[in-house]
């Protein structure tokens, strides 16, 4: 019988396909049924010869070098970039079968998270990878990926949603469309009960400024977010970090019970307690990207004892092996650093002979026990460096092809070659049932739009119509109304010039606030979007359109109050047509400015850099709009056509002054009734008299330009988001 068959979790036909799981053993109130994974859907995860390189952080190329690169072939530039990499993983191998909990342990910087992201197919594209990750002896496809749950170290959850809402929206987006809404709600209820979250299901997640659920409950919600789909494989990145020992033990007990339901559970753990460590089935101990032990977790101390490192009395086994991996354990003959090199060499020699790892019946040959320290140090002389200034890491990896190949390489030699690791394009949906139609997304596109729209409204429930924003617009609007009190009721040149300031301020204040506020819209949600997109929850276009549509009611309500205050206190034209035209022009300019802010925030990742670029852009558009500078030199005058404020400002001028009779009574004289004053004459050329960019009596074409700008920038925002999401994860 093969190892895979011997270790595979099987469910007899006579047994039920449900197991009992709970957050706390013995707590009957928090125990609920959770479906086990049928045998035909169980997945065995194997990984072999996993090596990885990350780009070194270096200073940006000087301008001359950038110019030189323009005339250098892409191949030469690519080859030069290969040299500037650091290797972080060295031919790691292991396997996790259904029913097992495999723990990835090691000190900080040992590449635990990096290896887990490789297994889950979520490695950034900047990382170069080699090796194989197989699910049931098949490369990871997008179809298989939808059966894999991935819990990040950071709990990325919407602070304004309750526990029920968080899991409900996940269920509506991720569960198959063949399930009814009632069935999806039942799944949510089962997960909540199974994870012991009934007592806080109606409590918001909360955050730094708003109190919500506890840290342990947040972590369980993150696990539940992935358990909604009842995954065959569950990957968790340090789920016990930040939790007290009791909460951490309950969480790991829950994971162990989930594994007993036919799931393969892989988790990174930083520093487990002795009770927590005893719950682990298998262990892969890492040290600076090298495997220092792989096998039965409870036999790790036995392995190190055979190598001459006996655990001291009353010392936690997990602490002891972590000290070994850190190089903090020394003997009379060997220092701690040399001991680490020695243990790495012994582990690699043993895994070459026993790809399945160290088990109870494993025998350690003299080839492993008799290895000399200086041979280990000589064979690993590059461990402490990590970089190769003169040799391509790919070539070096090829030279080391004789290293251990992992638990499945001997059975599958065609995958043993060092090929770049990647997620295969989803050309097939695994093994679907005959006659069953397969869908890439859980919810149809229209449902995605509806669900995401509703969710976004709920996530902004504490932002919408906030007292702070309302007071800001109210105070600024009243002040502007007092400064320009009934200024629109005048018809002289002096009064019109004064009124132009009100119209420009109304437009500028609303637009600049919208632009600067939009800078942080997508950066604040980018990690969440990456996480959900990697889980296959929705299309990017559905998220973008739903977010855009859900912003409209909130972003237009309070500005409308500001416009009403300014319009009537300023004494602008008292007719419905002019008012609604003014309102539409300001909101159209506001949305265009918001689009520019969204674009800058989507392209520029650094907040201060984004603010600087947005400020420069805004000031340029303000200066060329025609209010501060009436006469711009011809060689730079074309800039005004790039300014949305130019179009918005001219629109407001035409709305206010079109068809009006204006009197010239001098630059400072502003009589109340100029039509009866002999010193006042009718202005026949309003454009020249007021030094305007456009004639107010011409037809209003500027809104068309604003609409074109709005659509253009919104399209650019979508393209930028799509490019960033594709560039971030494989």
Cβ density class 563-582: b for 16+ within 10 Å, e for less:
bebbbebbbbbeeeebbebb
| pLDDT beneath 70, residues of the chain | 1-34, 57-83, 330-336, 362, 364-439, 464-465, 667-670, 727-730
Residue 171 included in any domain: no
Asked if 138 contacts 318 with a C-beta cutoff of 8 angstroms, the reply is: no
* pLDDT at position 393: 34
Q: Is 586 in the same domain as 460?
A: yes
Q: Is 449 in the same domain as 411?
A: no
* pLDDT at position 526: 84
Looking at 309-420, list the stretches that DSSP marks H as alpha helix, in order from N- to C-terminal side: 317-326, 336-353, 366-369, 373-379, 393-399
Residue ending a domain, choose from 415, 432, 464: 415
- Characterise 698 by phi-psi region: left (phi > 0), alpha (psi -120 to 50), beta (else): beta
Q: Is 393 in the same domain as 473?
A: no
Q: Is 467 in the same domain as 345?
A: no
Residue ending a domain, choose from 415, 431, 456: 415
* pLDDT at position 5: 40
Q: What is the 3-state secondary structure (H, E, C) of 624-649?
A: CCCCCCCCCCCCCHHHHHHCHHHHHH
Residue 550 included in any domain: yes
Q: Are strands 85-96 and 45-55 parallel, antiparallel or unpaired?
A: antiparallel
Q: Is 648 in the same domain as 585?
A: yes
Q: Is 96 in the same domain as 58?
A: yes
* pLDDT at position 165: 94
Nearest to 402 by CA among 338, 352, 458: 352
Residues in contact with 407: Cβ distance below 8 Å, sequence separation at least 6, in sequence order = 3, 46, 48, 93, 94, 95, 355, 356, 357
Residues in contact with 727: Cβ distance below 8 Å, sequence separation at least 6, in sequence order = 125
Asked if 492 contacts 660 with a C-beta cutoff of 8 angstroms, the reply is: no
Q: Is 543 in the same domain as 689?
A: yes
* pLDDT at position 391: 35
Q: Is 650 in the same domain as 708?
A: yes
Interatomic CA distance for residues 175 and 180, integer angstroms: 10
Please return the burial class of 98, using the count of CB atoms within 10 Å of its CB with bins 0-12, 13-18 and 19+: buried
Residue 379 included in any domain: yes
Residue ending a domain, choose from 365, 395, 415: 415
Residue 26 included in any domain: no
Residue 303 included in any domain: yes
Q: Is 410 in the same domain as 449?
A: no
Residue 237 included in any domain: no
Q: Is 602 in the same domain as 710?
A: yes
Q: What is the 3-state secondary structure (H, E, C) of 326-350?
A: HCCCCCCCCCHHHHHHHHHHHHHHH
* pLDDT at position 364: 66
Nearest to 54 by CA among 108, 117, 105, 103: 117
Residue 486 included in any domain: yes
Asked if 336 contacts 375 with a C-beta cutoff of 8 angstroms, the reply is: no
Q: Is 623 in the same domain as 512?
A: yes
Q: Is 400 in the same domain as 542?
A: no
Residue 711: Cβ within 10 Å count: 12
Task: State how many domains the chain has.
Answer: 2
Residue 263 included in any domain: no
Domain with 78, as residue range(s), is 38-145+277-415
- What angle (nearest 5°) sits at the alpha carbon of residue 324, between those of residues 119 and 393? 50
């Amino acid at each position: 019988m093969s190892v895979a068959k011997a270790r595979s979790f099987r469910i007899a036909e006579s047994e039920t396909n449900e197991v009992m799981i709970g957050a706390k053993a013995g707590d009957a109130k928090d125990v609920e049924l959770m479906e086990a994974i049928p045998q035909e859907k169980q997945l065995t995860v194997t990984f072999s010869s996993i090596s990885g390189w990350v780009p070194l952080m270096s200073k940006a190329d000087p301008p001359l070098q950038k110019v030189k690169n323009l005339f250098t072939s892409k191949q030469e530039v690519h080859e030069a970039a290969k040299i500037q990499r650091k290797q972080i993983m060295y031919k790691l191998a292991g396997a996790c079968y259904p029913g097992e909990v495999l723990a990835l342990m090691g000190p900080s910087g040992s590449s635990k998270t990096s290896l887990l992201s490789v297994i889950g197919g979520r490695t950034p594209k900047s990382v170069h990878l080699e090796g194989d990750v197989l699910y049931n002896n098949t490369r990871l496809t997008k179809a298989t990926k939808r059966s894999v749950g991935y819990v990040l170290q950071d709990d990325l959850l919407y602070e304004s949603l309750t526990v029920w809402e968080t899991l409900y929206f996940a269920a509506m987006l991720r569960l198959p469309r063949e399930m009814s809404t009632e069935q999806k709600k039942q799944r949510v209820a089962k997960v909540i009960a199974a994870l012991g979250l009934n007592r806080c299901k109606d409590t918001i997640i909360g955050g730094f400024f708003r109190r919500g659920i506890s840290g342990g409950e947040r972590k369980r919600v993150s696990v539940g977010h992935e358990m909604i789909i009842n995954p065959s494989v569950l990957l968790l990145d340090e789920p016990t970090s930040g939790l007290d020992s009791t909460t951490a033990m309950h969480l790991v007990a829950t994971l162990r019970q989930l594994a007993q339901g036919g799931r393969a559970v892989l988790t990174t753990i930083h520093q487990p307690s002795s009770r927590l460590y005893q719950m682990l089935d298998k262990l892969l101990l890492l040290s600076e990207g090298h495997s220092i032990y792989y096998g039965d977790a409870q036999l790790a101390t036995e392995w190190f004892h055979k190598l001459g490192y006996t655990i001291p009395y009353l010392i936690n086994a997990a602490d002891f092996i972590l000290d070994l991996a850190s190089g903090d354990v020394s003997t009379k003959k060997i220092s701690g650093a040399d001991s680490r090199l020695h243990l790495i060499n012994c582990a690699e020699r043993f895994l070459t002979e026993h790809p399945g790892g160290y088990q109870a019946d494993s025998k350690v040959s003299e080839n492993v026990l008799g290895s000399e320290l200086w041979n280990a140090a000589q064979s690993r002389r590059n461990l402490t460096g990590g970089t190769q200034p003169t040799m391509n890491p790919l070539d070096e990896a090829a030279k080391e092809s004789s290293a251990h190949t992992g638990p499945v390489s001997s059975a599958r030699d065609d995958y043993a070659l060092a090929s770049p690791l990647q997620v295969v394009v989803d050309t097939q949906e695994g093994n679907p049932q005959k006659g069953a139609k397969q869908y890439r997304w859980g919810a149809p596109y229209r449902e995605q739009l509806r669900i995401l729209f509703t969710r976004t409204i709920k996530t902004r429930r504490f932002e919408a119509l906030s007292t702070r924003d309302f007071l800001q617009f109210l105070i600024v609007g009243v002040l502007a109304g007092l400064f320009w009190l009934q200024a629109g009721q005048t018809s002289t040149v002096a009064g019109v010039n004064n009124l132009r300031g009100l119209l420009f301020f109304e437009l500028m204040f609303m637009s600049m606030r919208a632009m600067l506020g939009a800078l942080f819209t997508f950066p604040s949600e980018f990690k969440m979007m990456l996480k959900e997109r990697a889980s296959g929850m929705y299309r990017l276009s559905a998220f973008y359109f739903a977010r855009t549509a859900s912003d409209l009611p909130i972003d237009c309500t309070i500005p409308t109050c500001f416009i009403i205050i300014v319009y009537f206190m300023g004494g602008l034209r008292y007719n419905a047509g002019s008012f609604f035209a003014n309102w539409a022009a300001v909101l159209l300019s506001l949305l265009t400015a918001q689009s520019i802010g969204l674009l800058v925030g989507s392209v520029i990742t650094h907040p201060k850099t984004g603010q600087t670029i947005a400020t420069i852009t805004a000031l340029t558009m303000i200066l060329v709009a025609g209010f501060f500078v009436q006469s711009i030199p011809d060689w730079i005058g074309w800039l005004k056509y790039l300014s949305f404020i130019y179009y918005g400002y001219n629109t407001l001028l035409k709305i206010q002054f079109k068809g009006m009779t204006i009197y010239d009574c001098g630059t400072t004289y502003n009589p109340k009734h100029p039509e009866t004053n002999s010193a006042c004459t009718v202005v026949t050329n309003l454009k020249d008299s007021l030094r305007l960019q456009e004639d107010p009596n011409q037809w209003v074409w500027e809104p068309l330009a604003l609409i074109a700008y709005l659509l253009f920038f919104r399209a650019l925002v979508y393209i930028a988001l799509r490019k960033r999401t594709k560039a971030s994860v494989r």
